A and B are shown apart, each in its own frame.
Chain A
Amino acid sequence: MTKDIVLEARKLCKQVSSPEGPLTIVDDVDFQVTAGESVAIVGASGAGKSTLLALLAGLDTPTTGSVLLAGEDLTHLDEDGRARLRAARVGFVFQSFHLVPALTALENVMLPLELAGRSDARPVALAALERVGLKGRTGHYPRQLSGGEQQRVAIARAFVTEPAVLFADEPTGNLDTVTGARIADLLFDLNARSHTTLVLVTHDRTLAARCARMWVMEAGRLVPG
């Protein structure tokens, strides 16, 4: 049973200091995701969704509690250790795409492969771009691509390393409804085909409904939706 749990949060808390005193953003969150599962975390703006995502992915450190990702306790790893773990097991899709503006679509997708030291980066990245339908735009820079195309590049980059867990933060938030729906299709399709665990953070209930499970974030607390 434990073997199948790919992501787990234990009594996770995040406090920050503010002019009005300490502010609890993530409050005592316990949470498990099994391999291949898709989970949505929904909630209003400012409920703490993005902070929780950052803690789960090891981009930020909790005040108390711990996160186990692919069997490793993130709180026992230093920043570089967490980075190594992300390189091997984690993929990301962001609301604002976060493509490197100086790199072409192909180079953006090659980036995580190159970081992992793979010599076959180019053909693998080309294949990934083909899968997201951007075979003809590999040499374009992000500023030459539409929002939907930029997110496709980001998705190709997220899946190209075949991660164990994919974190998606409002992946359709910056896109119009039609494009957003297509991107969502692509995301779930690739997720299903590659057996990746998907953790999706969104305020869009329709999108969240496509996940196997849904959690709701309210004032820092996580409740099953």
Chain B
Amino acid sequence: MLQRALQLGLRMLGREWRSGELGVLLLALTVAVGALTGVGFLVNRISQSVALQANEVLAADLRLEASSAPDDRYAREAERRALRTARTTSVLSVVFSGDRNQLANLRAVSGAYPLRGALGVSSTVFGTAQLRATGPKPGEVWPDSKLLAALGVAVGDTVSVGARSFRVSQVLISRPDQGGGFGELAPSLLMNLADLPSTQLLQPGSRASHALLFAGEREAIAEFKPWLERERQRGERLRDVREASPQIQSAIDRAGRFLSLASLVAVLLCAIAVAMSARRYVKRHLDSVALLKTLGASSNFTLTVSLVQLLLIALAAALLGSAFGYVVQSWLVQALQGLLRADLPPPDLVPLALGFLTAVSLLAGFALPPLLQLSRVPAIRVLRRDMGPPPPAVWLAFGPAVAAVTFLVYWVVRDWTFFLIFVAGLALFVVVLAAAGALLVKFAAAMRGTVGVSWRYGVANLSRRRAESIVQIVAFGLGIMILLLLAVVRNDLLTDWRKSLPADLPNFFFINIPPDQREQFFDYLDAEGAKTARALPMIRARLTALNGKPVETLQFADPRGEGYSQRDQNITWQAELGNDNRLVTGRWWTEADHGKPLVSISEEYQQGLGLKIGDRMTFDVAGETIEAEVASVRHIKWDSFQPNFFVVFPPGLLDELAGTWMTSAYFKPGDGGVIAELVRRFPSVSVFDLDDLLAQVRSVIDKAVFAVQSVFVFTLFAGLTVLLAAVQATRDERRYESAMLRTLGASRATVTRGILAEFTALGLLSGLLAATGASIAGYVLAHQVLQVPYAFDLTIWIIGLIGGALLVAMSGWLATRSVLRQPPASSLRGAAP
């Protein structure tokens, strides 16, 4: 039986294709899959580009750090896997120039360094950076501005490092891997690794730190990482971007959420279009199935035939759509070459799989229930046209659709909170739309006596096709809402997001401010017109025990925990919770708590060490042991660029301990001279220039903004397909009706006005509901997902109402125009509804 059904299904499909029956469904699905895979491909490439950019903060994709030079076999294995490698060695030493000297961090780098990102150099101290792909040549060194300012040296002068002299050929302004951390307090100097032996600085027992850098194809890195993880020796530490820079990671996470939101929009639009097309497909096949049954086909047979047909349509749409998506995406990347990285990696095939999966699950969710209904059409329909299939069980009508949407939404967002908010909001909106639709239909029926003939006909149609009208209101409403929502997200939220990184964000960090120079230092900053952020004390400490157990004896599931427990930690005390901090659990201290042994920790720290409120932490602070109880956990917005600490104590506990202060401030570009003067006046203060890091974060955000905007084009296209599908759904019926009305003497203008009236009414209500839904969804998104402020905007309602009415009326008119052009007889013949 199956074979026969397959054969017949195939044959019927071919025949229907030739007769043009399948065109609309195939088009709707193809556009839907095309939009989704197009979005997928683009998002995939952009996120790869963003990830590459992020890797620049490591100057590599992977980094192995150790206190002794890493074994050569790591590099050999990496090269065997076609990865690029570079080495760096850092050692603290004094740099001399004449009678001046300054302790500096010497960084010797191999020729290939940096593997990702570029070095910024200038010919003057604190000057504007120009990019260089590699480090200094042998015989040359690039000291940074702080070192040159301290030594009073300029480009072209000579400095002595260990047993050798070097010419200063450039001022080092930025390194990609300088990061946002403060591990290196001393000024730094970049030199060629080949020169290091001749300085004779590296003696047995000297304290140097070594890094082996790796970069290459994403897959190759992904395969190499576990190998390195297994092979590395004790004391060798593997770093990737996640822990290298929390600021960049925070921007990437947000970008990811934005992009998944955009993909979701496409998924939903596809779902609506498919649902509408499937309904139409089924409606048009009622007679054929009834006839097949009359001619002796069983229910299973007709079902199999329909399934085969639908599956083949899905397959064709998935193939065509994915190809279409790929082409459009390549074109976009071409067109936007200046904006994206030149070495953008090719997209992987994941979006293709997603396209297939989407086509199949959308069809299964939205087309299977009506198909199952189709197989239940009674054969007697051949004699009595009014006999349709029995109404389906509720779970069968909605279950698969809900399951398909749920699956796809989760697949895209992979975040339970976002997912639950999204699905609940969507379900609520569909119910409200349906209820409002039902109300409108009722209201329309009541007012039909009060309007002219066109409107009466149009509005009467709304109430006569009750179920159809409600479905259309839901489809139009959802489609318009999603488009409006995207507009809200695109304009308001993106602007707000950019605003959250204002131009005067602190771009310099100052640490090691001695307590006795603190007032002078801040006076100096004020006098120079710098915008200063909060100042916090900074104290070195080491975590020694958790809940009374020494950390050496503890195992941490999270690799970050191991790092936190082994490294020295900067801690602080603070009375107020900063506005860039949010309490996750526990409570912030009141004045009464000051001096009590309490501690507040960051979310990263809490996850890394697996801590909970009430756990006891023991620190060694300058030889003194302090035990404190975890009172709160904070979520830190790292991209505020304010001083922030993983571990914060209340005031009154550490006040007596020796420590220094830190702050951050904004200086206008070109204030290099001020900074140089500051370094001279406060020699013990360490200065960190964050402009480069800030530029990296801004660039990630700009890419995300661009991505969302490109995706908007795709979704707009998908949205229009939905409108088309919704209008197409009742096209056959309209064809018949308008022919009948014209036969009865109605002019074409009257019929057109009736159709316009119906669609305008539909569009107005859908637009109103959509604007309301978009505003609420925008608010929730802004607060829950993107964490930016949101302002309600009346224009959304105006655009929703007018746009909805115009758009729906226009598509209605366009889709039915051909109907009106045909002579009534040709529409009536063989085209009964």
Residues of A within 8 A of B (CB): 50, 53-54, 57-60, 79-80, 83-88, 90, 92, 94, 96, 98, 100-104, 107, 111-112, 114-117, 141-143, 150, 169
Contacts and interface: CB of A to CB of B under 8 A. Distances in A.
B826 to A, nearest CB: 8
Q: Is the interface of B mostly helix, strand, loop or mixed?
A: helix
B288 interface: yes
Nearest to A89: B296
A143 B832 CA distance: 12
A114 B287 contact: no
B16 A102 contact: yes
B655 interface: no
Interface string B608-651: 00000000000000000000000000000000000000000000
Given A86-B294, A92-B294, A98-B291, A103 B4 contact: no
B383 A86 contact: no
Contacts of A98: 287, 291, 294, 382
A114 B297 CA distance: 10
A54 B383 contact: yes
B296 A83 contact: yes
A59 B15 contact: no
Contacts of A80: 298-300
A115 B829 contact: no
Contact of B383 (A59, A90, A107, A142): A59
- Chain B interface size, as a band, is 20 to 34
Nearest 8 A-B pairs (CB), nearest first?
A87-B296, A80-B298, A102-B16, A86-B296, A59-B380, A102-B19, A59-B379, A102-B21
A154 to B, nearest CB: 10
23 contacts: A54-B380, A57-B294, A59-B294, A59-B378, A59-B380, A59-B383, A60-B380, A79-B379, A80-B300, A83-B298, A83-B299, A87-B295, A87-B296, A88-B296, A90-B296, A92-B294, A101-B21, A101-B830, A103-B15, A104-B15, A112-B296, A114-B4, A114-B8
Given A59-B294, A59-B380, A94-B383, A103 B12 contact: yes
A41 B8 CA distance: 35
A177 B140 CA distance: 108
B19 A141 contact: yes
Contact of A102 (B7, B288, B297, B300): B288
B292 interface: yes
Contacts of A141: 19
A224 B161 CA distance: 125
A83 B288 contact: no
A143 B297 contact: no
Nearest to B830: A143
B499 interface: no
Interface in B532-586: none
Nearest to B376: A79
B831 to A, nearest CB: 8
B296 A92 contact: no
Interface in B352-392: 378-380, 382-384
B414 interface: no
B293 interface: yes
A101 B19 contact: yes
B382 A59 contact: yes
Contacts of B380: 54, 59-60
Considering residues B294, B299, B379, which has the most beta carbons from chain A within 10 angstroms of its beta carbon?
B294
A94 B383 CA distance: 8
A115 B629 CA distance: 79
A142 B288 CA distance: 13
A146 to B, nearest CB: 10
B11 interface: yes
A80 B21 CA distance: 28
Contacts of A143: 829-830
Contacts of B301: 115
Given A50-B384, A102-B12, A102-B19, A117 B296 contact: no
B291 A100 contact: yes
B295 A115 contact: yes
B296 A115 contact: yes
B382 A83 contact: no
Nearest to B8: A114
A84 B12 contact: no
Considering residues A54, A102, A103, A141, which has the most beta carbons from chain B within 10 angstroms of its beta carbon?
A102
Nearest to B11: A114
B379 A111 contact: no
Interface string B287-320: 1100111111111110000000000000000000
Given A103-B12, A107-B11, A143-B829, 19 more contacts: A50-B384, A54-B384, A83-B293, A86-B295, A86-B296, A87-B297, A92-B382, A94-B382, A102-B15, A102-B16, A103-B15, A104-B15, A111-B292, A112-B295, A114-B8, A115-B292, A115-B297, A116-B296, A169-B383
Contacts of B299: 79-80, 83
B15 A107 contact: yes
Contacts of A103: 12, 15-16, 19
Contacts of B300: 80
Contacts of B293: 79, 83
